[in-house]
Structure 1
Amino acid sequence: MTFTKAQDVINYLYSLPKLHEKADLSYIKKVLTFLDNPQDKVKTVHVTGTNGKGSTSYYLSSLLQKAGQKTGLFVSPYVFEFNERIQLNGQNISDADLVKTANAVESALTKIRKTNNNFSLVTFEYEVVMAFFYFARKKCDYAVIEVGIGGEHDKTNVITPEVSIITTIGLDHEQIIGPTLQDIAREKSGIIKRNRPVVLGNISKEVLPIIQQKAQKEHATIKLLGKDFKISLQENLTYQDQNKKISFLPRPLVEGYDVGIAISAVSLLGVKLSAAEIKEAINQTKIPGRYQIVQNNPLVILDGAHNIQAMQNLLNFAHFEQKKKQGKVKVLIMMMKDKDIEQVFKLFKPEDEVYITTIDYPRAAKKKDFPTWIQEKYQYQADWETSFRSLKQKSQTNDILLVTGSFYLVGNILQMETKNAGSRS
C-alpha cells in the first residue's frame, strides 16, 4: 500500500485494531528493527503520569528549543488536528512528511509480511513508529516522548531515555494497568532505566516507596518535587532549587508542578539556559486544551480533565477563583463511557451548575450511559454546540464556565471558537 494524502493515512490508522492479543512490545520492536532502530538515533526524555504528562512535555519541549536544541515532541491526544501528535520545534508534522513517514513504515511492514502474512500494528504502535522515524530522519537533538497509557507495557517504552519523568500517580485506566494505585505505580515505574535519572512530581506517600525501590534497583538517581525542587504560588508561580529561584506568570498550582518538573528535568540534560531564558520559554508555552482561557467576563476555561485527579484539580482552581469573583461555577461536561463517571460527578459541589452533553463518537457517553442518579440530578442536552452557546449566553460576567471531561469536546469547542473569531475578523 502507498499513501498519497494525509487524510488517507489518518483514516487507515483509525481502521487498525486498538489492541494485540499479547500486551507486549514484540510487534513494535520488530518494525523498528526493520527501520534500523530510529528510536536509538535521537536522545529522548520519557514522560508518564496519570495527569500532567502532556503539559510537562510541552514545557520541556519549549525549554529545549530555547536552549537551541532541535526538538521533537510526541503527545496525545490532539485538539485541532492529528498532526499535533508529532511536532518538530513546535510545528506540527506537515501533511507531506506525514505521508512520507507512513510510506516508510508501510515499506517495513511489506518486508515483514513476506514471512508473516498476518503481521500488523495497532493504531498507537503505528503512530509511535512514525514519530521515531520522523525524529531520526530530521536529526533531532532531543525528542520528548509522552507515554500513551501506563509505562512498562506502553508502546513508547522501547527507548533508553536521558531522563525519565513520572508526574503523578492516580486512578485512571484501572482496567488496563490497575486495579489498585500500587499496580498503577508499578506499571509507571517501568519507564525508569538503568543509570538514568528520574524526576518525580506530586507522588503520594502511599506509592512513593514503590517508585523509589525501582529507582534504587536500576541505580537511577531521583529528583523529587518538594524535596529537590519546590513550586510555590503567592502572587506569581515560583520555582526554586539549590541553584536558582525563578518567578513566572500566574497559573494554577497543579500546572506549576509540571513547570517545575520540566525545569528540573532539563537541568539534568546539561543544556545551557539562563534564568531569563527559562522564564521566557515557560511564559510563552501554550498548551492546547489545558486550563485554556478563551474568554473573560464570564471566565470560560477549557480543560480536557477526564479522570478523578484531573477533575479535582480543575474544580479546586475554579472554586478558588470563584471566591474572588463572587459568581457561580458552571460546568459543561462530556465523558467517555469507559471513564469513572460516577466518581467524577461526586466531586461537584451542590451549588455547582452542571450540564451534560455528548459528541458524535463511539466511546462518548450518551444519557443512558450515566448512572440513574446523575440522569435525574443534572440536565442533559445532546447537542454540545447548542449547550455551550446557551450556557455562555446565560452566564453573568462574574461566573466561571468550565468545559471539561474530554479533549474531544474541548477540541470541538476550540475549533468552533477559532472559526467564529476568524469570521468576525
Structure 2
Amino acid sequence: MTFTKAQDVINYLYSLPKLHEKADLSYIKKVLTFLDNPQDKVKTVHVTGTNGKGSTSYYLSSLLQKAGQKTGLFVSPYVFEFNERIQLNGQNISDQNLVEIANQIELILAKIRRENPAFSLVTFEYEVVMAFLYFAREKCDYAVIEVGIGGEHDKTNVIMPEVSVITTVGLDHEKIIGPTLQDIAREKSGVIKKNRPVIIGNVPKEVLPIIQQKAQEENAPLIQLGKDFKIIPNESLTLKTKSQKLSFLPKPIVEGYDVGVAVEAFSMLGLPLSQNNIIDSINRTVVPGRYQVLQNNPLIVLDGAHNIQAVQNLLNYAHCEQKRRQGQVRILIMMMKDKDIAQVFDLFHATDEVYLTTIDYPRAAKKKDFPQWIQEKYQYMSDWQAAYQNLKQKSQTNDILLVTGSFYLVGNILQMETKNAGSRY
C-alpha cells in the first residue's frame, strides 16, 4: 500500500484493530527491529499517569526547547488535528512527513507479511512507530513520550528513558489495566527502568508502596512530590525544591503538580537553564484543552477531564473560584459510553447547573445512554453548539462555565471559537 495524502493515512490508522489478542509488545518490537530500532537513537523521557501526563509532557517539551534541545513530543489525544500527536519543537508533523513516514512503515510491513501474511499493527502501535521513526529521522536530541494507557504493557514501553514520570494514579481504563487501584499502580510502575530516575506526582498513599518497591527493585532514584519538592499555591504558583524556589503565574493546584513534576524531571537531565528561563518557559506554555481559559468574565474553562479523579480536580478548582467570585457554576458535559458516568455525576454539587450534550461520534453517550436518574435530573441538549452558545450567553460576569467530559467536545468548541475569532487560538 502507498499513501499520497495525509487523510488517507489517518483513515487507514483508524481502520486498524484497536487491540491484539495478547497485550504484549512483540508486534511493535518486530517492526521496530526491521526499522533498525529508531526508538534507541533518541534520548527520551517517558510520562505516564491517570491524569496530568499530557500537561507534564507539554511543560517538559517547552523546557527542553528553551534549553536549546531539538525536541520531539508524542501525545494524545489531539484537539485541532491528528498531526498534533507528533510534534517537533512545538510544530505539528507536516502532512508530507506523515505520508513519507507511513509509506516507510508500509514497506517494512510488506516484508514481514511475506513470512506472516496475517501480521498487522494496531492503531496505537502504528502511531508510536511513526513517532519514533520521525524523531530519529529528524535527529532529535530528546523526545517526550506520553504513554497511551497504563505503562508496562503500553506500546510506548520499548524505550530506555533518561527519566521516567508517574504523575498520578487513579481509576480509569479499569477493564484494561485494573480493576483495582493497586493493579493500575503496578501497571504504571512498568515505566520505571533500571538505574534511571523516576519522578512521581500526586500519588495516593495506599499505592505509593507499590511504586516505591518497583523503584527499589530497579535501583531507580525516586523523586517524590511532597517529600523532595513541594507546590505552594498562593498569589502565584511556587515550586520549592531542595535547591531552588521558583514562582510562576497562578495555575490550578493540579496543573501546579504537573509543573513541579516537569521541572523536576527536566532537572534530572543536567541541561543548563537559568531560573528566569525555566519560569518564562512554564508561563508561556499553553496546554491545549487542559484547564484552558477562553475568557475571564465570565470565566470559561475547557478541560477534557473524563474520569473520576480529573473531574473531581476540575470541580474543586471551579468551586474555589465560585467562592471568590460569588457566581454560578454551569457545566456542559459530554461523556463516552464506556466511562464511569454515574460516579462522575455523583461529584456535582447540588447548586451546580449541569447540562448534558453529545457529539457525532460512535462512542459518545446520547441521552438514552445516561442512567435514568441523570436523565431526569439534568437537561439534555443534543446540539452541542447551541448548548454552548446558550450557556455562554446565560453566564454573567462573575459566573463560571466549565466544558468537560471529553477532549472531543473540548476540541470541537476550541475549533468553533477559533473560527469565530478568525484566527487560530
Q: TM-score range by the shorter chain?
A: over 0.9
2:277 corresponds to which residue?
277
1:58-78 per-position Cα deviation (integer Å, ceiling 9, x unaligned): 000000000000000000000
Alignment of 1:134-173 (within 5 A): 134-173=134-173
Alignment of 1:189-208 (within 5 A): 189-208=189-208
2:122 maps to a residue whose letter is V
Q: Give the TM-score normalised by the residue count of structure 2.
A: 0.99
* Distance apart, 1:204 and its partner CA: 1.2
1:92 maps to a residue whose letter is N
Point out where structure 1 has 5 or more consecutive residues left out of the alignment: none
* Distance apart, 1:423 and its partner CA: 7.9
1:312 corresponds to which residue?
312
1:174 corresponds to which residue?
174
* Distance apart, 1:9 and its partner CA: 0.4
Q: Does 1:6 align with 2:11?
A: no
2:34 maps to a residue whose letter is F
Q: Determine helix, strand or coil for the equivalent of 1:114.
A: helix
Instruction: Work out the CA distance in 2 between the residues paired with 1:42 and 1:155.
Output: 17
1:317-339 per-position Cα deviation (integer Å, ceiling 9, x unaligned): 00001111111000000000110
1:369 corresponds to which residue?
369
2:115 corresponds to which residue?
115
1:22-80 per-position Cα deviation (integer Å, ceiling 9, x unaligned): 11100000000110000000000000000000000000000000000000000000000
1:376-419 per-position Cα deviation (integer Å, ceiling 9, x unaligned): 00000111011001111111111100000000000000000000
1:102 corresponds to which residue?
102
Instruction: Work out the CA distance in 1 between the residues paired with 2:262 and 2:423.
Output: 37
Runs of 4+ in structure 1 over 2 Å off: none
2:64 corresponds to which residue?
64
2:50 corresponds to which residue?
50
Q: Does 1:397 align with 2:397?
A: yes
* Distance apart, 1:316 and its partner CA: 0.5
Instruction: Work out the CA distance in 2 between the residues paired with 1:281 and 1:298.
Output: 28
1:194-215 per-position Cα deviation (integer Å, ceiling 9, x unaligned): 1111000011110000000000
1:31 corresponds to which residue?
31
1:159 maps to a residue whose letter is I
1:12 maps to a residue whose letter is Y
Q: Determine helix, strand or coil for the equivalent of 2:347.
A: coil
Instruction: Work out the CA distance in 2 between the residues paired with 1:332 and 1:208.
Output: 34
Alignment of 1:194-273 (within 5 A): 194-273=194-273
Alignment of 1:330-341 (within 5 A): 330-341=330-341
Computed over aligned residues only, the root mean square deviation of the Cα atoms, in angstroms, reads 1.1
Instruction: Work out the CA distance in 1 between the residues paired with 2:423 and 2:102.
Output: 35
Native 8 Å contact 2:181 2:207 kept in 1: yes
Instruction: Work out the CA distance in 2 between the residues paired with 1:273 and 1:203.
Output: 28
Residue identity (%):
79
Point out where structure 2 has 5 or more consecutive residues left out of the alignment: none
2:325 corresponds to which residue?
325
* Distance apart, 1:424 and its partner CA: 12
* Distance apart, 1:296 and its partner CA: 2.2
1:388 maps to a residue whose letter is Y
1:161-189 per-position Cα deviation (integer Å, ceiling 9, x unaligned): 00000000000000100000000000000
Native 8 Å contact 2:151 2:157 kept in 1: yes
Instruction: Work out the CA distance in 1 between the residues paired with 2:221 and 2:293.
Output: 37
Instruction: Work out the CA distance in 2 between the residues paired with 1:210 and 1:293.
Output: 36
Instruction: Work out the CA distance in 1 between the residues paired with 2:29 and 2:216.
Output: 27
* Distance apart, 1:370 and its partner CA: 0.6
* Distance apart, 1:146 and its partner CA: 0.1
Q: Determine helix, strand or coil for the equivalent of 1:358.
A: coil
1:278-307 per-position Cα deviation (integer Å, ceiling 9, x unaligned): 001000101000011112211111000000
Instruction: Work out the CA distance in 2 between the residues paired with 1:181 and 1:242.
Output: 31
Q: Determine helix, strand or coil for the equivalent of 1:355.
A: strand
1:248 maps to a residue whose letter is F
* Distance apart, 1:132 and its partner CA: 0.2
Instruction: Work out the CA distance in 2 between the residues paired with 1:123 and 1:77.
Output: 13
1:56 maps to a residue whose letter is T
2:69 maps to a residue whose letter is Q
Q: Determine helix, strand or coil for the equivalent of 2:357.
A: strand
2:360 corresponds to which residue?
360
Instruction: Work out the CA distance in 2 between the residues paired with 1:334 and 1:85.
Output: 22
2:106 maps to a residue whose letter is E
Native 8 Å contact 2:418 2:424 kept in 1: no
1:319 maps to a residue whose letter is H
1:73 corresponds to which residue?
73
Q: Give the TM-score normalised by the residue count of structure 1.
A: 0.99
1:289 corresponds to which residue?
289
1:345-377 per-position Cα deviation (integer Å, ceiling 9, x unaligned): 000000000000000001000111111100000
Instruction: Work out the CA distance in 2 between the residues paired with 1:118 and 1:295.
Output: 51
Instruction: Work out the CA distance in 2 between the residues paired with 1:409 and 1:55.
Output: 18
Instruction: Work out the CA distance in 2 between the residues paired with 1:108 and 1:284.
Output: 40
Instruction: Work out the CA distance in 1 between the residues paired with 2:301 and 2:194.
Output: 41
Instruction: Work out the CA distance in 2 between the residues paired with 1:377 and 1:334.
Output: 15
Q: Determine helix, strand or coil for the equivalent of 2:270.
A: coil
